[in-house]
Homo-oligomer: A and B are copies of this chain.
Amino acid sequence: MTTTPDLAPPAAAPAAWNASLHAEVQQFYAHQMQLLDLGESERWAQTFTEDATFAVPTLPEPVRGRPGLVAATSRSHAELAAAGQRHRHFIGMFDVRPLDDGAVDVRSYAIVYVSHIGGDSAVHRVCVCEDRLVRGDDGTLRVLARTVTRDDLA
């Protein structure tokens, strides 16, 4: 059974929020989303754990693991380029909840903008992103489980 922040109790009790963690979380997401928009799929996938899950409403089950993440985002990036469009994922509104085992639950908003090259820019999607972050061997944050919902879907 897939365990996500939405469906299961936290693996650990809440821990104290601190300002340094909040800034670190912001840096993590800024860098991660910029890699995505740059089409740097391999480097982007490295910001997830090896066995990470990524659940989106348009797929029947979560993507699991880095190869699947790379494949999905490489395909999306190529389709956008072919269509003469660019996407930007603007993420913010981080509600950061550290757990006492070192994991961090983060609920945020992500707005996806689309620009038509030679044309207009507009809001494409309004999403809520619920992540569980954990630390890798090098101490940096990585996504263990991500669940994205879209406001335009029931």
**A33: B residues at CB distance < 8 A:** 93
Chain A: interface residue count, which band? Answer: 35 or more
Instruction: Please tell me if the beta carbons of B94 and A152 are within 8 angstroms of each other in the complex.
Output: no
Instruction: Please tell me if the beta carbons of B125 and A121 are within 8 angstroms of each other in the complex.
Output: yes
A94: nearest chain-B partner, CB-CB = B30
Instruction: Please tell me if the beta carbons of A113 and B123 are within 8 angstroms of each other in the complex.
Output: yes
Partner of A94, one of B17, B27, B88: B27
**A115: B residues at CB distance < 8 A:** 126, 150-152
Count copies of this chain in the complex.
Answer: 3
- A94 and B122 CA atoms in complex are apart in Å by 21
Answer yes or no: A99 CB below 8 A from chain B CBs: no
**A78: B residues at CB distance < 8 A:** none
**A86: B residues at CB distance < 8 A:** 126, 151
Q: Which of A1-9, A18-26, A64-72 contacts B (4 or more CB under 8 A)?
A: A18-26
A27: nearest chain-B partner, CB-CB = B22
Instruction: Please tell me if the beta carbons of A93 and B90 are within 8 angstroms of each other in the complex.
Output: yes
- A17 and B141 CA atoms in complex are apart in Å by 14
**A154: B residues at CB distance < 8 A:** 117-118
Instruction: Please tell me if the beta carbons of B31 and A95 are within 8 angstroms of each other in the complex.
Output: yes
Query: Which A residues lie at the B interface, using CB under 8 A?
Result: 17, 19-24, 26-27, 29-31, 33-34, 86, 88, 90-96, 107-109, 111, 113, 115-126, 128, 150-154
